[in-house]
Chain A
Amino acid sequence: MEENLPGVIVIGAGAAGAAVSYGLAKSGISVICLEQGDYTNPSIYPSTEIGWEKYKFSAFNSDPNVRMGKADYPINNANSPISVANFNAVGGSTILFSGHYPRLHPSDLRSYSLDGVACDWPISYEELEIYYNRNQENVAVAGLAGDPSYPPIKNLLPPVPMGKMGQVLAEGFNKKGWHWWPAYSAIATRDFHSQNKCINLGPCNLGCPQGAKSSADVTYWPKAIKLGAKLLTNCRVSEIVAPNPHEVTGVKYFINGEEKFLACKIVVLACNGVGTPRILLNSKSKFAPKGLANSSGLIGKNLMFHPLAYVEGEFPEGLDSNLGPQGCSISSQEFYESDPSRGFVRGYTMQVLRGPSPIEYIIGNIRRKSLRWGKTQIEEFLSKYNKTAHISIICEDLPDPSNFVDLDPTQTDSDGIPAPRINYKLSENSKKMLAHGIRRAEEVMTSAGATKTFSFGPVRDTGWHLMGTARMGSDPQNSVVNEWGQSHDISNLFIADSSIFVTSGGVNPAATIQALALKVSDGVIEYLRGNMPHVRAVR
């Protein structure tokens, strides 16, 4: 029966688009994914060639305004202390992500009920947990069971090596009596399906030539394509076509500068918390003057990042800081759950990061004047390098409608599609949380034996996590999609990416994005089977 089901267009081939395409293809549904980027070739990732580090500052930079590749669109970050980071390719930003892959906490889905802030999610942790577990059947996740900060998590691969630096900081956490645990990492620490075992090369955030990092191009896409999903690259969607208020009929997209139309029965957006509202806001019509699926007025609103602070400690001894997966070692969630005595609500994770590679270290230290140009540079560098430890503070960001994405009135991409504009301010709650996190991380450093610390936050170029701009909920006036990612306004339009997050939690979102995308694929399947209400735009 399902072979005859009508076709679905998925827009975007990143973490969410890959998982939702897989879920649909596995059920025999014809699915075509349009991706504005191209395939990347792991065998030519920068870390395989001499001079590899310079690509971090050019073609593999996390800022699309720096990269300015063919697949990239400009983003106006002028009104934000945090700039958007992304990567446009098959696999999306998972090509460059560090692999942090923690789950949300149960309390993250009930922040209104528990703490009186933001909104509750329309689903419980237990419902989401089903999809976290299903996601782990396809995505290699390393970690260690028994973490008291989470409900039990099964089927983890062995944790990534802590490294000498991680060990020293773990002892620092223990001296403070604070929680720490090996990081949950989307890294195959042993062979997993087609993924090779991690060999601890280091620069995960320039692409993993080993194929050990669970980027969506190596996890879901090969399986989805084998199951029949079609993936069209270099196709940039400009708008979703809705000839009446009740349904969408296809998408307009550009390929090699030429505009085309592709018809379908269902559209699933999976373009992240900036790309998705960009397309919806650009899909205006006489039926949708504020943008498509926007009767609530919430498309683009409630943008959440994870404000991030950085603390570095200098140690007298060598810590082999730069050996191992760069982003993942150990984490602490001592200050994750709300405690009114701290002066802010909600909380944060402390993530222990490996040290930067040599060039990144030198450039960073010259900028902050702890290394000099001239005859002493090399000796100073060698005396400090690999003797540092690093903690990032990743703070929960609360939804606020005054933080939003809209369309830039003048700037466009190479196809003439308006660029997104970020309008964002740090909340007082976030500022207090950042300050608290910095102080606590400095305490850990000192406790672990650091002789000197250096801290700052928010770190500007860390806007990887783009959430909340088309949030889910059961009330159509206060949300954009229902718990299955289905638009309240248009029944054959779904959203599967981090736009639909209700709150951000204080952890990296990739695991939740992919779990939710699998849930959305179930929603699409149920809709096609006639089990999902066909909501009409009647307001």
Chain B
Amino acid sequence: MTINLLSKESLSFLNNLGNLILPGSTNPYVPRWDAELPSKYFVVEVEKFQMTIESFKNHLSNKFKKPIDELIDEDLQAIIAENSTATRNFFQSIGDCYINDFYSRPKVLSALGFSQVPPFPNGNYPFVGNLEELEAVFKRGRMYR
């Protein structure tokens, strides 16, 4: 299979859009999207959807008549609420890639208080549970046929 690499223009669009949809948070330790380069996973995945990217880019351009890095959160909510085909297709195909990439970043996870991987080999210690609460169930007697 031949993969057409994303153009610089498309990468720039995706990066600017990333800052709009994943701008970090009020917690200053949570970085915004472009604090790191996107992962290889992200680039490989989104390359499959170049027409979808172009279509959404054009849609934003027609709708707002200003560069994407000047869009604000209200613009984003408006375009999502409008639920056009171009918007829907974009977020359905590429939205998961943004989430997967962003929330896999060690700095992001650390700022949010999550471990980067499950704690192997130390493990977790969930609450064992109070099995005495089963007494009422047990006393009901046989339920099966």
A contact set with B: CB distance below 8 Å: 47-54, 57-58, 105-107, 114, 144, 146, 148-151, 159, 161-164, 166-167, 170-171, 173-174, 177, 179-182, 199-203, 209-210, 320, 323-324, 330, 333, 336-337, 358-359, 362-363, 366, 372-375, 377-379, 382
Is the C-beta of B65 less than 8 angstroms from some C-beta in chain A?
no
A240 to B54, CA, bound (A): 49
Contacts between chains A and B (CB distance < 8 A), count: 168
Residue from A144, A177, A378 whose CB has the most chain B CB atoms within 10 Å:
A378
Give CA–CA (A326, B24) in the complex, Å.
28
Query: Measured between alpha carbons, how far is A106 from B145 in the docked complex, in Å?
Result: 6
Q: How far is the CA of A337 from the CA of B133 in the complex (A)?
A: 23
Spot the interface stretch: B3-11, B55-63, B123-131: B123-131
Instruction: Establish whether residues B144 and A337, one from each chain, have CB atoms under 8 Å apart when the complex forms.
Output: yes
Give the residue of B23, B95, B118 whose beta carbon is less than 8 angstroms from that of A201.
B118
Q: Which of A52, A149, A337 contacts B118 (CB 8 A)?
A: A52
Q: Which residues of A contact B114 (CB under 8 A)?
A: 358
A210 — which chain B residues lie within 8 A by C-beta?
Answer: 120-121, 123
A57 and B96 contact, CB distance less than 8 A: yes
Given A179-B140, A201-B118, A366-B99 in contact, is the A372-B124 Cβ separation under 8 Å?
A: no
- CB neighbours (8 Å) of A201 from chain B are 118-120, 123-124
Given A54-B41, A148-B137, A180-B137, also A163-B127 (CB < 8 A): yes
Whether B21 lies near A114 (C-beta < 8 A) is no
Of A57, A159, A379, which is within 8 A of B100 by CB?
A57
B22-41 vs A, CB cutoff 8 Å, 1 = contact: the mask equals 11111100100000000101
Best-surrounded residue of B76, B114, B120, B126 (most CB of chain A within 10 A) = B126
Interface size class of B (residues with CB under 8 A): 35 or more
Question: Given A162-B127, A179-B137, A210-B121, A359 and B73 touching (CB < 8 A)?
Answer: no
User: Which residues of chain A are within 8 angstroms of B24 by Cβ–Cβ distance?
Assistant: 378
Nearest B-chain residue to A148, judged by Cβ: B143
Q: B104, A359: Cβ atoms under 8 Å?
A: yes
Residues on A with beta carbons closer than 8 Å to the beta carbon of B118 = 47-48, 52, 201-203
- CB of A170 within 8 A of CB of B100, answer no
**CB neighbours of B116 from chain A (8 A):** 50
> A167 and B144: CB pair below 8 A?
no
Main secondary structure of the interface of B (DSSP, over half): loop
* CB of B51 closer than 8 Å to a CB of A: no
Q: A54-B100, A180-B137, A202-B118 are in contact. Are A372 and B144 (CB under 8 A)?
A: no
Expressed in whole angstroms, the Cα–Cα distance for A54 and B125 within the complex equals 25
Q: Is the CB of B144 within 8 A of A200?
A: no
> Chain B nearest CB: distance from A375 CB in Å?
5
B129, A182: Cβ atoms closer than 8 Å: yes
A179 touches B143 (CB 8 A): yes
Q: Least Cβ distance of A132 to chain B in Å? A: 14
User: Given that A161-B128, A163-B127, A166-B129 are known contacts, is A359 also in contact with B100, CB under 8 Å in the complex?
Assistant: yes
- Interchain CB contact under 8 A, A162 and B128: yes
Bound-state Cα–Cα, A323 to B124, Å = 7
Residues of A within 8 A of B121 (CB): 199, 210
Complex CA gap A229/B118 in Å reads 35
- How far, in Å, is B145 (CB) from chain A's closest CB? 4
Contact B117–A200 (Cβ < 8 Å): no
Which positions 87-145 of chain B face chain A at CB distance < 8 Å? 91, 95-96, 99-101, 103-104, 106, 109, 112, 114, 116-131, 133-134, 136-138, 140-145
Once the chains are docked, how many angstroms separate the CA of A184 from the CA of B91? Answer: 39
